[in-house]
Amino acid sequence: MHLATLPGNMAKISLGDSFDLATRNRGVSLPKETAEVITSFEQSARDVESTFTETSQERANDLWRLMHGEREILSRPRFKIWRAFLLNNWYHHRGQLTVYLRLLDIPIPSIYGPIDF
């Protein structure tokens, strides 16, 4: 569920000026079936799309802060947070998945689409 819900959750928390890790819910939800993962991902994608559509260029350039209580962990323009927390995290997990598939001798699906050389 982490990969399915991370984009939408990150989009939602980036709407504010900051997010406090000390207040986050550490509960992990495990899906009961594949359809739940797909439904969660589709909602997550809609949340990201609406966040990007509704956010002005000026707001995307505003600083967003990640906090832990009173301690600031990082402060970056919102669009850089989106890049790091949304996209880079997916790339990281895609790499993990390919390693798992290789270890199981399962053919790796095309990651970047068909390449015509």
Q: Is residue 85 part of a domain?
A: yes
Which backbone phi and psi does 44 adopt, to 5 degrees? -60, -45
pLDDT tens per residue across span 55-110: 999 999 999 999 999 999 999 999 999 988 888 887 888 888 889 889 999 988 77
pLDDT tens per residue across span 23-45: 877 666 788 999 998 999 999 99
Contact (CB, 8 A) for 11 and 48? yes
Give the count of domains, the chain: 1
Is the confidence at residue 113, as pLDDT, over 70?
Answer: no
pTM across the whole model? 0.75
Q: Is 88 helix (H, G, I), strand (E, B) or coil?
A: helix
Q: Is residue 32 part of a domain?
A: yes
Torsion angle in degrees (nearest 10) through CA of 53, 55, 58, 61: -100
Q: Which domain holds residue 96?
A: 2-103
Q: Is residue 109 part of a domain?
A: no
Q: Is residue 87 part of a domain?
A: yes
Q: Is residue 6 part of a domain?
A: yes
Query: What pLDDT is stored for residue 23 in this prediction?
Result: 86
Q: Is residue 114 part of a domain?
A: no
Q: Is residue 115 part of a domain?
A: no
Contact (CB, 8 A) for 13 and 51? no
Q: Is residue 88 part of a domain?
A: yes
